Structure 1
Amino acid sequence: MSPDRRTGRSESTVGEPPVGTEEQEREVLSQGRKYLLLAVFCLGVFIDVMGVCAFYILTGPVALDLDIRFEAQTWIITSFAVTFAAFLLFWGRVSDLYSPTPVFAYGFLTLGILNLVISFQTNAYAFLILRAISGIAGSCLIPASYRLISAVFNADELPRAFTIYGLCGSLGASLGVPIGGLVELIRADGQLSGWRWYFRITTVLIVPISLWSLKAFPKQRGEAASDTNKWKRLDVPGTLLMLVAILLLILGLTLGASYGFGTASFLAPFLISLPLFPLFFYWQSRLSADLALVPSNTWKIPNFTLWTVLAIFTSAWWTCNQVPQIEVFVRERGDSSIIAAMRILPEGISSLACSGILIAFPIICSYPRYTYTFGQIGGMAAYVLFIYSDGQVGTQYWKFGFTGATIGSFCNNVAATSVIVGAMTTSPPSQAGVVGAILQTAIQAGNAIALAVQAGLLTIHPGGIEDWANVRASFWFMFAWGGACLVGFHIFYRAPILDGKGKRVVVTH
């Protein structure tokens, strides 16, 4: 076992397929060019995440304009999120087998065009259908970006690159609400409504950059670029199994949150989805590593199963404190959308400050035993402050809400980045697309699970969100979940293997 002289990677090659073409065809790029490409990847993940979080504020205006009844309003958010999560693994496999460049560029271009079309919609069903299709386009960006980052940067540069990329996803989660609030300041009716301008502004950002990326990105080839059995290696049956399983799971949780967890709307899709997951893994175990959608050796990557489980909590930290607080501020306190967004803004500013520190000192995330512990404890402490804020009325907001948002968002960003960097820097480049897709699928599933559980907890006492005791119960759930993640991390985490020069060994099987 010895370090690769071209990339600095130390790899065990036992049982590994022929050397990936990305190592043989790595283009020599200047540092400026590398970070310009990284900026495009970061824009993609930022817009993807913001496309969900901004609508915590914009859901009301959209529902009002398109006459969407209250029970169905959640689909303004989840129509995008469901298809986004369901197609991540598929695009991860396509990126690994074929080429990530067209997957990213054409997916980004399609997202931009769809956003423009959505901005003119006046029919609720057309809006929701197009949002769902745009989720498919948006899901192209994540696994393709992971694959391209692994191809563009050398091994010693990957911690900084993945730190920056992961932080941009976290920034999308923490800044999405304030951005949605700013867009809502556009006070106009009809085709000039603020939410319509959100889609138009993102189109202006996306389309030119996506066209440029077709020409500027490295012409990266995947494992199966010259393989005559491409369709077999794409694993269509496995893709369909996982696609249906994720769709039904998130569909069931969403419908349960809207209509009740004792209804057929929840039970039917949820119960059907449960056996599909073990069936998928059974199917994968029957296939050789080069034919499986998720090769069995992926789960042998050091700590990867642990990182995947921990990723479920990362984005949910923001989602489950922002959604109920916005509802309380707008519906109970009578705040306008922009004032509610400004109350959440400390989370975005704190997350941005954290990003600056971690980008300047990327080595921090190379020690996850310390950074994840620090981040998780800080995030849990923030929920304790939220719990005892007593509805954040008056000075209670500054004592508890503001303090919790500032401390918690900073710390959770550290923990979330540690998870992403830890997983990606120990994964072989040939599996970067699928590994990144699995992580993002876990994150999206975590949001759906957290919101569903929170919806149930908000009905413990009469009055729903009007009774702060219900909100407090949902925050205690998040505190307990965070604590379970922390305990599990210290039980199951294993320090990475280092070579003679102190570099991490990327083990492939």
Structure 2
Amino acid sequence: MSSPLSLEDDEPKRLSLPRKLVLLVMCCLAQFMDTFSTTALLSAIPTLEASMGMNEAQSTWVISAFRLTFSSFLLISGRLSDVYNPKTVFIGGVSGLGILSLCAGFVDTTIPILVLRAMTGIASAMTIPSALKLLVKVFPDPLEQARAVGFFAGCGAVANMGGVLVGAIFVQWASYHWVFWFVTCVASPVALVCFFIIPSQIGETVGSFDPEKAKWKTLDLVGIVILTVAFILFIFAVTSGSTVGWKSPMVLVLLIVSILMVVGFFYWETLLPVNEAAIPPQTWFYHNFSVLFAVALLPSFWWNAVMFTFSIMWQNVFKWSVISSAVHMAPIGIVAFATSFTGSLSRIFSPKWIILTGLSLCMTATLLLALGGGKSENYWLYVFPAFSLGSAGIMMTFTHSNIAIFQAAPSSKAGTVGAIYNGALQFGSGIGLAAMSAIETSVEANHGGSHEYAGRAATFWFVIGVVALQFISISIFYDRSTDHKPQPTHDGPPTQHITHSDDKSVEADVITMPELPK
């Protein structure tokens, strides 16, 4: 009789190709909705301010409240997806996203919309790690998995740009309420379809023999709560620092407390058995995991930096319309989506060289923006090629670091790894935008104010430095020895290479033999 574990491992093999592809599309739509929920509102913020009587700080929190809860609850979602059934977590997240967005579309006052945005972030956080867990299980073949993860990543990039354009269309010709209702219109059928096409027991490995006791024990509620609260305090402090000032006692205290809690979290993890820790210490020692985590800090930061900088400048300084600004952003989404289909290249070339190529393109693009992005007549000469090259480079970096980090970690930890990776995306974006805001404000104070490009140019020189640091890190620390090796299925004992007399090297588990009596 087969064990529950072997039954679960065989489950993806019994799925038909059309069913797998439909599931991939559903996961990609969830990824699209999560990103769309943020970027589409960029075009609606001025209308929201006028309609609800918001001040600038309150309108900032329409975006920040979502980002705050989304990034903070990723780890909880990842652990639930690994320990319990990812199908339940995914459908619960998509359903919650649809219901909360429907409610938000009927709200016309400030406090309720901020509360609903924060709750929407929690629902969205449930969808990403669980979707990645499902994809890793449904596409166990390395080539298929690379293509699926690459396509999944590409849909997020398309939503980054498509959200701005669709949001602008709704604001211009309908109502900002449709920015929320559009999410409901997509989420509802996705949840319904996934209820029928996702196998009921897929991904359930932990605690198969003693479900309730084993699963609850391995959830590590203490560690998850510590890290979640730390993230909430940190992101709240970073977001508040750009509005109330970095020298504010509240900001400084929250930053210090959050950092201490992160340190406390990692200490707590060292005290637990490996199978009971939310993020076991060994996670950081999977091949290339740490350096890929560092690379994950860049993609969302670069995209958001470019979009925030130019959307505001084009509307406030150049006086372009919302639609015109969105259309001029189109190269970012189009090129990113086209580049998302490069996932299969990771089975031909080392991800190291692909990521380095992407970072090189990104540095070139950012240099163009630093030198010539401040004049409307320079769009085709500097900005358009920068958007195209930079988006291609960042998408290559995003896609192949995503693929490589899942190939490095056991499939049984896919939910947690997805949470860590996406948490790094949010963390890098929050820190990077806060640093850019401080640099821009400081430079503009002495160089002509916000109507001059000096402050924005300075921020892009800062971004070039960040990309260069990433390039150096990958060049030095990325180890290619495990490229194109099978993905580990579960955590197990370390392996060593054994060379036989026929000079063929194979891997074997290290077995410690008991010492013979003397």
Is residue 369 of structure 2 the alignment partner of residue 386 of structure 1? Answer: yes
Deviation string 1:322-349 (CA, Å, 9 cap, x unpaired) is: 1011111111111111111112111112
Question: How far apart are residue 166 of structure 1 and its match?
Answer: 1.6
Question: How far apart are residue 86 of structure 1 and its match?
Answer: 0.4
- Give the direction of change, closer, same or farther, for the CA distance of 1:122–1:376 in structure 2 (3 Å limit): same
Counterpart of 1:324 in structure 2: which amino acid?
T
Question: How far apart are residue 478 of structure 1 and its match?
Answer: 0.7
Query: Which residue in the other structure is 2:122 paired with?
Result: 136
How does the TM-score come out when normalised to structure 2? 0.89
Counterpart of 1:216 in structure 2: which amino acid?
I
The DSSP-based 3-state class of the residue aligned with 1:262 is coil
Is residue 163 of structure 2 the alignment partner of residue 181 of structure 1? Answer: no
Question: How far apart are residue 390 of structure 1 and its match?
Answer: 4.8
Query: Which residue in the other structure is 2:16 paired with?
Result: 30
Q: Distance in 1 between matches of 2:362 and 2:39?
A: 19
Q: Distance in 2 between matches of 1:208 and 1:321?
A: 33
Q: Which is further off, 238-247 or 167-176?
A: 167-176
Counterpart of 1:442 in structure 2: which amino acid?
A
- Of structures 1 and 2, the larger Rg is shown by 2
Is residue 482 of structure 2 the alignment partner of residue 482 of structure 1? Answer: no
Deviation string 1:149-188 (CA, Å, 9 cap, x unpaired) is: 111112232111111112222222233322222222225x
Is residue 452 of structure 2 the alignment partner of residue 467 of structure 1? Answer: yes
Counterpart of 1:405 in structure 2: which amino acid?
F
Q: Which is further off, 323-332 or 45-54?
A: 45-54
Find the partner of 1:283 among 264, 268, 273. Answer: 268
The DSSP-based 3-state class of the residue aligned with 2:471 is helix
Question: How far apart are residue 141 of structure 1 and its match?
Answer: 0.6
The DSSP-based 3-state class of the residue aligned with 2:488 is strand
Is residue 170 of structure 2 the alignment partner of residue 163 of structure 1? Answer: no
Q: Distance in 1 between matches of 2:487 and 2:424?
A: 25
Deviation string 1:200-236 (CA, Å, 9 cap, x unpaired) is: 1110111122022122212212413543243221111
Deviation string 1:28-60 (CA, Å, 9 cap, x unpaired) is: 111121111011011111111121222222222
Is residue 479 of structure 2 the alignment partner of residue 497 of structure 1? Answer: no
Is residue 47 of structure 2 the alignment partner of residue 66 of structure 1? Answer: no
- Give the direction of change, closer, same or farther, for the CA distance of 1:472–1:20 in structure 2 (3 Å limit): farther
Counterpart of 1:213 in structure 2: which amino acid?
C
Q: Distance in 2 between matches of 1:503 and 1:31?
A: 24
- Give the direction of change, closer, same or farther, for the CA distance of 1:85–1:236 in structure 2 (3 Å limit): same
**Mapping of 1:46-125 within 5 angstroms?**
46-125=32-111
Deviation string 1:458-498 (CA, Å, 9 cap, x unpaired) is: 11232553221100111111110010001011111001426
Is residue 193 of structure 2 the alignment partner of residue 212 of structure 1? Answer: yes
Q: Which is further off, 245-254 or 216-225?
A: 216-225
Q: Distance in 2 between matches of 1:210 and 1:464?
A: 48
Is residue 423 of structure 2 the alignment partner of residue 408 of structure 1? Answer: no
Query: Which residue in the other structure is 1:451 paired with?
Result: 433
Question: How far apart are residue 363 of structure 1 and its match?
Answer: 4.1
Consecutive unaligned residues of structure 2, counting only runs of 5 or more, are 493-518
Query: Which residue in the other structure is 1:374 paired with?
Result: 357
Counterpart of 1:211 in structure 2: which amino acid?
L
Find the partner of 2:182 among 196, 201, 212. Answer: 201
Q: Distance in 2 between matches of 1:433 and 1:21?
A: 20
Q: Distance in 2 between matches of 1:139 and 1:365?
A: 33
> Do the aligned partners of 1:379 and 1:407 also contact (CA within 8 Å) in 2?
yes
Q: Distance in 2 between matches of 1:80 and 1:497?
A: 37
> Do the aligned partners of 2:407 and 2:487 also contact (CA within 8 Å) in 1?
no
- Give the direction of change, closer, same or farther, for the CA distance of 1:317–1:75 in structure 2 (3 Å limit): same
> Do the aligned partners of 1:108 and 1:141 also contact (CA within 8 Å) in 2?
yes
Deviation string 1:366-391 (CA, Å, 9 cap, x unpaired) is: 52121111110101111111111151
**Mapping of 1:341-356 within 5 angstroms?**
341-356=326-341
Q: Distance in 2 between matches of 1:365 and 1:88?
A: 32
Q: Distance in 1 between matches of 2:183 and 2:237?
A: 30
- Give the direction of change, closer, same or farther, for the CA distance of 1:456–1:383 in structure 2 (3 Å limit): same
Q: Which is further off, 264-273 or 377-386?
A: 264-273
Q: Distance in 2 between matches of 1:20 and 1:383?
A: 49
Question: How far apart are residue 263 of structure 1 and its match?
Answer: 1.4
> Do the aligned partners of 2:74 and 2:420 also contact (CA within 8 Å) in 1?
yes
**Mapping of 1:413-424 within 5 angstroms?**
413-424=395-406
**Mapping of 1:220-259 within 5 angstroms?**
220=202, 221-225=204-208, 226-227=210-211, 228-259=213-244
Counterpart of 1:473 in structure 2: which amino acid?
A
The DSSP-based 3-state class of the residue aligned with 1:140 is helix
User: Using CA pairs below 8 Å that are at least 6 residues apart, which structure has the higher relative contact order?
Assistant: 1
- Give the direction of change, closer, same or farther, for the CA distance of 1:366–1:38 in structure 2 (3 Å limit): farther
- Give the direction of change, closer, same or farther, for the CA distance of 1:179–1:23 in structure 2 (3 Å limit): same
> Do the aligned partners of 2:12 and 2:139 also contact (CA within 8 Å) in 1?
no
Question: How far apart are residue 21 of structure 1 and its match?
Answer: 6.1
Deviation string 1:102-142 (CA, Å, 9 cap, x unpaired) is: 10001101110100000000111000001100100010111
Q: Distance in 2 between matches of 1:398 and 1:465?
A: 23
Question: How far apart are residue 355 of structure 1 and its match?
Answer: 2.6
The DSSP-based 3-state class of the residue aligned with 1:333 is coil
Question: How far apart are residue 308 of structure 1 and its match?
Answer: 0.8
Q: Distance in 1 between matches of 2:278 and 2:455?
A: 42
Counterpart of 2:157 in structure 1: which amino acid?
S
Q: Distance in 2 between matches of 1:84 and 1:237?
A: 19
The DSSP-based 3-state class of the residue aligned with 1:111 is helix
Query: Which residue in the other structure is 2:284 paired with?
Result: 299
Find the partner of 1:311 among 272, 296, 299. Answer: 296
> Do the aligned partners of 2:155 and 2:337 also contact (CA within 8 Å) in 1?
no
Q: Distance in 1 between matches of 2:375 and 2:232?
A: 36
- Give the direction of change, closer, same or farther, for the CA distance of 1:407–1:364 in structure 2 (3 Å limit): farther
Q: Distance in 2 between matches of 1:161 and 1:138?
A: 20
Segments ≥4 residues shifted beyond 6 Å: none
Q: CA RMSD in A?
A: 1.9
Q: Distance in 1 between matches of 2:227 and 2:449?
A: 35
Counterpart of 1:371 in structure 2: which amino acid?
I
Q: Distance in 2 between matches of 1:171 and 1:129?
A: 27
Q: Distance in 2 between matches of 1:253 and 1:21?
A: 46
- Give the direction of change, closer, same or farther, for the CA distance of 1:20–1:388 in structure 2 (3 Å limit): farther
Q: Distance in 2 between matches of 1:323 and 1:217?
A: 37
Counterpart of 2:215 in structure 1: which amino acid?
K
Counterpart of 2:327 in structure 1: which amino acid?
M
Counterpart of 2:159 in structure 1: which amino acid?
G
